[in-house]
Structure 1
Amino acid sequence: MNAGWIVASLLCAAILFAIVLRKPLLAMFDLELANRKRRRLSQQETRAIIQRLRSETQAMKDDRSRVEALLALSELEVSDVMVHRTNMRSINADNAPDMIVREVLQSPHTRLPLWKGSLDNIVGILHAKDLLRALNEADHDFSCIDILKIAAKPWFVPDTTSLDDQLNAFLRRKAHIAIVVDEYGEVEGLVTLEDIIEEIVGDIADEHDVEMQGVKQEADGSVVVEGTVPIRDLNRALGWALPDEEATTIAGLVIHEAQSIPEEKQAFTFHGKRFVVMKRDKNRIARLRIRPASVEGPPQPAAKP
């Protein structure tokens, strides 16, 4: 009898203990489940979280680069980003209309400068859409087309104009292209609205873009470059950081560093690159081969490759 009472008392005590401590016990149990669930989700989502963080970090870097590029527009001039006259696609206005139509159709550009007599005499800017519209109105009779009447008036800007001012001028005039001239009025090249925007956001590719002219990647890792290729374009295309303060073209950089006009097959090492002169045309470096230098250091004297 005593034993039965003892057992019954213990059971009652256990029940009362459970009732009194049920909330703390349940809370602890729920917390443990939550911790287990949290750990399980963390293991499953770790890779996705890391990837998202990487993407956000890269986006922040891209945004910072764009802001820095935007602020730097006032420090750059149109001559820093223009297409040099030697690489500028243009059309002789004295050519037959059918030949002009063929040149326009073969060009990847929508707007092309027209010249008469020489490239220093730009007489108009021909828009492909205006040409096609005129062809349609003339029932595709080339002889009825007056190219100069179709062309827009050219807009000339000094080569010392800042990119900031030029961008504002483009937006104010609702224009897309301007001819760049030096202090003597001679044509140096052309600059477009896209050139300036690309300085801020990077290259803008479209379906009609062609590979960078004058640059060819070789199987051995070297790059063959025409001397007239702008340093900024080369840096942007290949991710390089060659200086462009003292020269605009890659040939100009080599001449500046060498302090002379090198002979063919001469080689120089500077700015982490090995430059070999492949072709010289009179007093002009026509073609170079560039590869990573095996040893970083100051510019080296001319030597055989």
Structure 2
Amino acid sequence: MNDAPLGLLFGILAILILLSGFFSSSETGMMSLNRYRLKHLAKKQHKGAMRAAELLARPDRLIGVILIGNNLVNIFATVIATILASRLYGEIGLAIMPIILTIVILIFAEVTPKTIAALHPESIAFPASLILKPLLILLYPLVWLVNSFSNGLAKIIGVDPSKASISDQLHPDELRTAVDEHGDLIPDQHQGILLNVLDLEKATVEDIMIPRNEVFGLDLEDDIPTLLKRIRTSEYTRLPVYEGDINNIVGILHLRNAARFIHGDNKSVTHEAIRRFTRDPYFIPEGTPLHTQLMHFQRQKRRMAIVVDEYGDVQGIVTMEDLLEEIVGDFTTNLAEEENPEISQLEDSWYLIEGGTSIRDINRHLSWELPTDGPKTLNGLIVEELQNIPAGHTGIKIGDYKIETVALSDKMIESARVKAV
């Protein structure tokens, strides 16, 4: 080798540096591949993706063959560079050779190839798999020997490389970030729906239910004219039917069934007729997560459920429409619009909000971040902060929000002015 022409030695050195760059870029390209896109392309029979997926199924072997190849070519490059430095500059060349070779390898075999591979992993990894796969077969005995020792050390610290997989699981928060980051690929409306679906597990039916004091139903202790008036003026298609107290619910009446007993004059209608055409009530605990209740509605073929607490007392009702609105948004007028009775916009960014308004509704429609881990309504939030129902008008600050009471009663705060600061 000492007698070889200088031109040949420089040519060999250049080839070795190129090979080092190939191994370096292959490693970065393979490890930078999007696992989910790779899986998608492999399912579509993309040959490069299939090869890359097969190699990544055992990353310990892939890294082993890449590092063996990279170290071999770097060692040979060092030998060739040493010979060239010795023949050209003697002992001085041997002294400066490590510095020059390090700079050359860093620029041409490490930083540049790895940067390109990180930016365009598929363009590097898929073609590289054509070489890496047969090279793995060729060097398998050496790869096996190296991996046997390295895997043994890994197992000592609790890592089993043989169980590695490219089908990494995403945490819901990570999936949310993925949806946010790729918003330009997903229409805004669809992106919002996806994020709302991910949020279902964070809320329970208690967060979206209609509270018992707002439930519109039929009390069988009322006389027939009163019941018929409520049926005919109802804005809802399903009404809970109870006796005296809402805790004594006997069934759910669908108004399409009302035509079966409302015929002729009012004298033909009886309490028993109303009771006969009701469907058995469907009770659910108040702590049921929304994503679980959605499946329960589908399995039970129901559209309305009665929410009860741990003592069996009715707390409110929740419907399929309420749950779907958590995913796709309101089907009716936006709560933040001026004509809405619960939230009205005032001057200087103030909003007049009814005390019974759900905090989730306020946050969703005003893009606020009032705390939701405690009370469910604005009234409850203020009362919890004050530790009592105020005797007169008062103002408080909760986080980044100013709140001033407007209308009070003995039982609750009827309305308040709220502003984000």
> Taking structure 1 as the reference length, what is the TM-score of the superposition?
0.68
Counterpart pick for 1:158 among 285, 295, 305: 285
The 5-angstrom pairing of residues 2-151 of structure 1 reads 57=184, 60-135=187-262, 138-145=263-270, 146-151=273-278
Cα separation, 2, equivalents of 1:112 and 1:200: 24
More strand by share: 1
Q: CA deviation at 1:260?
A: 4.3
3-state SS of paired residue (2:403)? strand
For 2:307, the equivalent position in structure 1 comes to: 180
Q: CA deviation at 1:222?
A: 3.5
Q: Which runs of 5+ in 2 are unaligned?
A: 1-182, 334-338
CA contact (8 A) 1:179 1:187 kept: yes
> C-alpha offsets along residues 9-55 of structure 1, whole Å, 9 cap, x if unaligned?
xxxxxxxxxxxxxxxxxxxxxxxxxxxxxxxxxxxxxxxxxxxxxxx
CA contact (8 A) 1:158 1:182 kept: yes
Q: CA deviation at 1:239?
A: 3.7
Cα separation, 1, equivalents of 2:198 and 2:367: 21
Q: Could you say if the C-alpha distance between residues 97 and 262 of structure 1 is closer, same or farther in structure 2, counting changes exceeding 3 Å?
A: same
Cα separation, 2, equivalents of 1:58 and 1:246: 36
Counterpart pick for 1:227 among 355, 380, 401: 355
Cα separation, 2, equivalents of 1:202 and 1:188: 24
Counterpart pick for 1:274 among 378, 402, 405: 402
Q: CA deviation at 1:59?
A: 5.4
Which stretch shows the higher mean deviation, 218-227 or 241-250?
218-227
Q: CA deviation at 1:142?
A: 4.3
> C-alpha offsets along residues 182-238 of structure 1, whole Å, 9 cap, x if unaligned?
0001111000001111111111128xxxx7554444467533323222111223343
Q: Could you say if the C-alpha distance between residues 283 and 87 of structure 1 is closer, same or farther in structure 2, counting changes exceeding 3 Å?
A: closer
Q: Which amino acid aligns with 1:130?
A: N
CA contact (8 A) 1:157 1:180 kept: yes
Cα separation, 1, equivalents of 2:387 and 2:344: 26
Q: Which runs of 5+ in 1 are unaligned?
A: 1-55, 294-305
Q: Could you say if the C-alpha distance between residues 177 and 254 of structure 1 is closer, same or farther in structure 2, counting changes exceeding 3 Å?
A: same
CA contact (8 A) 1:179 1:191 kept: yes
> C-alpha offsets along residues 132-184 of structure 1, whole Å, 9 cap, x if unaligned?
2322xx33444334211122111111001111111111111211100000000
**Are 2:249 and 1:249 aligned?**
no
CA RMSD of aligned residues (A): 2.6
More helix by share: 2
Size of the aligned set, in residue pairs, is 233
**Are 2:383 and 1:238 aligned?**
no
Q: Could you say if the C-alpha distance between residues 162 and 257 of structure 1 is closer, same or farther in structure 2, counting changes exceeding 3 Å?
A: same
CA contact (8 A) 1:264 1:279 kept: no
For 1:289, the equivalent position in structure 2 comes to: 417
